[in-house]
Structure formats: C-alpha cells, structure tokens
Amino acid sequence: MIGALSSLASRTLFAFDPETAHGLSIRALKSGVIPPCRLPEDPRLVQTVAGIRFPNPLGLAAGYDKNAEVPDAMLALGFGFTEVGTLTPKPQTGNDKPRIFRLVEDRAVINRLGFNNEGHAAAFNRLSSRAGRPGIVGVNIGANKDAVDRVADYVDGIRRFYALATYFTVNISSPNTPGLRDLQARESLSALLGAVLAARAEEAVRHGRSVPVFLKIAPDLTEEGLDDIAAEALAHPLDGLIVSNTTLSREGLKDKSMANQAGGLSGAPLFALSTRVLAGMRRRVGPALPLIGVGGISSAEDAAEKIRAGADLVQLYSGMVYGGPGLASTIVKSLSTILDRDGVSAIRELRDTRVDHWTAMKL
C-alpha cells in the first residue's frame, strides 16, 4: 500500500516544476496526508556512531528540510535520522529561479539554490517546539553569501543550535555559494575546524554534553585535497566526515539538454564518484573515524554498497524525488533482507569489505 501511494505521490509531484513540487511535498508532510510508516526496529541495523544510537543506518540528507519544518514527519517515514538545513545566520533568498532541474533519464537532479533558507531564528523556533521529543535531528550549518567573516557564521550556528541538535554538520561543500568550497583548502579548513570545535568545547561544558560535529565535503577534490582534509580531520577532535555533497562533473549524463545548467549534480550519476571518494577517505583516515556516505543511493543495495566502501551510516535525497516518500522504509526493510541473504548478524560487519574494490576503480 505504502509503495503504491509513494509512487502515486512522486508521479503527481512530477506534474509540477521541481521547486513547486518540493514545496507541495513539505506541505503534504506537514498536513499529515502522507501516512507514517513506523518500522519495527531490527537490532542488526542498530549502531552507535559518534556516541549516538542510530536505530537504522539510513538518514535524510541536508537540503530537503532546509528550514526544519518536517523533521518528525521524515523520521516517521522510516529514516533513522534526519538533517535540517543548510541554515545560515540571516535568512537569504538564494539564486534566481528556476534553480532546480530534473534529469529524468539519468534519475538525477541539478540544483543551484544557493542556500535559500529562513535563517537561524525561524529554524530555532521550530526545533525548540519539538525539544525533548525522541529522534535524531542533525543541524547542517553554513555561512551567508555576504558574510564578512564566514568562520563566525559557522560558530554562530554551533552556539545557536547547541541545545537542540543531536549532531552538527559543517557544510563547506556547496558549489552554489561562491568561494565556499575554498574553505576545504588546508589552512582555511584548519582555522575553521579550530574555531568551530573550540565553540563546541565551550558549549559542551555549559550544557554538560558534547554534540558531535561532522564535516561535509565535496566529491570534486584532488587526491592532494583529500590528503589535506584527512590530515585535518585527524588533527582536530572532529567526529566524522560526510562524503559527499553534489558534484560539478557532468560525466556520463544521458540528458544532454540539462547538462549545461550550472549547479551541483546529485542522484544516480553521483553514486560511483562519491563512493570512490568515500572509500579513498576510509583508507586515509583508518577504521576509527565515522564516515557517512551520501550520493546516488536509491536502493538497499546502493546503501549496502556505501557501507562496504567504508560508510558507517548513509543518507539520500535525490532518490526520494524519483522513488517517493515510501523509499526510506523500503530501503530499511530491504537492508534486513540483505542481512538475511548474506547471513550477516550486524550491518557493521559489511563495513570496509569493498574499500579496495572502490579505491581501485577507474571512473
């Protein structure tokens, strides 16, 4: 039933342009017309990562619920965790429309939204109204386009949401804010992580609880760039890396008409690239640092393969554009089936089993 409703929902939304469809889907989730799909917990899928107990390894990636309007509705769809944002201190409108494009043949999306969001205060009020409810809600933080001091915007995010976030994601990998990805360069990254993690340490003392901080990186880095990020991740008390954001590459697309649109590409064509970068990162950082694999997941097999390539947890966004709101529960249920099939007693046993395969892959 949920499968039929889910595909009906995504087919209906396809009648609208992508940004209108996104707004309608948020309204539908808020209104409760999309039925929740509470899954019984499979103990084999439960893991503690960065000190947080995750009921299953599948999360909603940042960018769908930018303004923290529907975190509980997303969790009710079967996601083990959800991530709101990217949130910037001041509200901003983002780039001119149209700025989201579907590449249907490729099961992909190009977006150049540019961190459109209602700002910290609006999201803070929404998250405050759900404070104390169960469910893992990460807060993804960024910098305003016109920020004079970008690092200060990230520090603001940590301080503002400290009491409400289960974890933070420091997003320095959106391709749609000019210069943002420059924060991935070694010296800038070191200064950013130093400031963000110092703010976290102060807040941890004040609140009596250390909130994990993850760093979200791009898939378009050079080998040297990845070396630098790995070195900085290990040099600071960072809790993990999210690999990856959207790509600037247009390699291998069938839909040539949209390929020239500026912005970040996500969905199926990002799977191989982001998975190879993930495996390369696992090899660099060793077994202890948590990694979250994102990019092109649309099935339980895709999710399992990210875990085999080095991920502790995974996230998706674009897959849901094509698969509908029932996708999360379908994937989580099918992960259990994969464990049955492979005679595996805990999902973490899959981790790293195909790191070599992915790092050797030529794209």
Ligand X SMILES: Cc1cc2nc3c(=O)[nH]c(=O)nc-3n(C[C@H](O)[C@H](O)[C@H](O)COP(=O)(O)O)c2cc1C
**Which residues are at the interface with ligand X (CB under 6 A)?**
61-63, 66, 85-86, 100, 109, 111, 113, 140, 171, 174, 216, 245-246, 266-267, 270, 294-297, 316-319
Q: What is the DSSP string of 74-109?
A: HHHTT-SEEEEEEE-SS-B--SPSP-EEEEGGGTEE
Least spacing, CB of residue 166 vs ligand X, in Å: 16
Helix 119-129, helix 150-161: angle, nearest 10: 20
Question: Would strands 108-111 and 100-103 be described as parallel, antiparallel, or unpaired?
Answer: antiparallel
Which run of H or E residues covers position 171? strand 167-171
Nearer to ligand X, 208 or 268 (CB): 268
Per DSSP, the three-state class of 138 is strand
Catalytic residue among 25, 173, 174, 244: 174
Alpha helices, DSSP H, located in 208-236: 223-235
Terminus-to-terminus CA distance in the chain, angstroms?
A: 39
Find the residue with minimal CB distance to ligand X.
63
Nearer to ligand X, 35 or 119 (CB): 119
- In 3D, which of 264, 227, 229, 231 has the Cα closest to residue 249? 264
Nearer to ligand X, 55 or 323 (CB): 323
Least spacing, CB of residue 297 vs ligand X, in Å: 5
Least spacing, CB of residue 168 vs ligand X, in Å: 12
Nearer to ligand X, 157 or 267 (CB): 267
- DSSP 8-class letter at 134: S
Least spacing, CB of residue 282 vs ligand X, in Å: 18
Q: Is 174 tagged catalytic?
A: yes
Nearer to ligand X, 37 or 110 (CB): 110
Beta bridge partners of 294: 315
- In 3D, which of 320, 221, 335, 226 has the Cα closest to residue 268? 320
Amino acid in the structure at residue 254: K
Least spacing, CB of residue 40 vs ligand X, in Å: 25
- The residues annotated with a catalytic role in the active site are 174
